Amino acid sequence: MSRAISPVRGAVAGLVGNTPLTRLSAISAELTHTLWAKCEFMNPLGSVKDRIANFMIEEAVRDGQLRPGGTIVEATGGNTGVALAAVGATRGHRVVLTMSDKIGPDKVALLHAWGAEVVICDHRAAAGSDHHFVSMARTIAAETPDSYLVGQFDNPRNVEAHRRTTGPEIYAALDGHVGAFVAGVGTGGTLMGAGGYLRQRDPAVRVVLADPAGSILAGAVTGEPVEPHSYLVEGIGSDFLPGLFEPSLITDAVTVTDHESFFMCLRLQREEGLFVGGSAGCAVAAARKFAETLDGPPTNIVAVLPETGTRAMATLYSASWRAQHGLTDLGE
């Protein structure tokens, strides 16, 4: 597929997707199966969310939900916000993002750099109350003429973007020889979309949920409910069931502790040369555990690396932050 820069929409749209699928040599050497990494951190804005931001905005323009010069509104302080800010800026839309005041200053500065307006909300506001960041986005969208509320947690185009791009890219890269696909769930777009596509092509493909210990999602797959508790990996796992989450599409769930996720991030950096965020460590740690339990002839197991490690400089790549959180024996 062409990577030519579109003069109309800027480089962002032209560079999204077609990310490399790379073999994890050092980690695979310990296993009978081969682990592969889908390098979503190599999207232009540094995360898997470039795919959905680009697709959801293109489709909203196509069907008239977002008009030329209209305002894009979303509740997110994370990667979706960065991707929407960039896509919006290059397409000439105002972008308003609401987020909790827990989000660090670096992320807010990055959003401002792209010209997005950021509305900071009190993280103590109860879900459903007027001051909660999700309600605030709805209010802003309702009060702003020509606005479009993206709604990534309920927007089926989030899944569709991965069904059309991420899934087919993986299938093609391995000539259809995919044994398992492993990813965490934030909204569920990646796992449901790419996993759904791969299972449709080959019903024997295992679709594996990588879930942080403390999230309730693995319990929804296994039928063994878990008591939610907080954890440090960002962007995946949940204490509620996201609207796009379909446990029936998932064949296996693997629970991963913060320690295992971050240990794997440091291994990926030092042994494979991949600098990625905590959810990537969680996916690869889950893929490795899954590989150890998978009988049968050697197969290909694909894990998603959703975001660049530069988003985690103040957290998992800071030795003092790790020490503060008792993560001191990660092999350094």
- Binding footprint of ligand PMP on the chain (CB under 6 A): 48, 78-79, 184-190, 234-236, 277, 279, 306-307
Within the chain, strands assigned E span: 21-23, 34-39, 71-75, 94-100, 117-121, 147-149, 180-183, 206-212, 252-256, 300-305
Shortest distance in whole angstroms from residue 7 CB to ligand PMP: 30
In the block, tokens 């109860």 appear at 126
Shortest distance in whole angstroms from residue 21 CB to ligand PMP: 17
* Tokens coding 235: 């962007």
Q: Is 49 a catalytic residue?
A: yes
Shortest distance in whole angstroms from residue 307 CB to ligand PMP: 4
CA within 13 Å, CB half, 246: 15
Phi, psi for 139 (deg, rounded to 5): -65, -45
Shortest distance in whole angstroms from residue 155 CB to ligand PMP: 11
- Of residues 38, 49, 102, 289, which has the active-site annotation? 49
Closest CB to ligand PMP among 190 and 255? Answer: 190
Closest CB to ligand PMP among 258 and 307? Answer: 307
Distance of CA 142 to the CA centre of its chain: 27
Look at phi and psi of residue 272 and say left if phi exceeds 0, alpha if psi is from -120 to 50, else beta.
alpha
Please give the Cα distance from 128 to 119 (Å, whole number). 17
Please give the Cα distance from 22 to 35 (Å, whole number). 9
In the block, tokens 């299938």 appear at 171
Query: What is the Cα Rg of the chain in Å?
Result: 19
Closest CB to ligand PMP among 84 and 299? Answer: 84
Closest CB to ligand PMP among 209 and 299? Answer: 209
Task: Tell me the one-letter amino acid at 112.
Answer: H
What is the distance between the terminal CA atoms of the chain, rounded to a whole angstrom?
41
* Tokens coding 291: 């590989």
Give the catalytic positions in this structure: 49
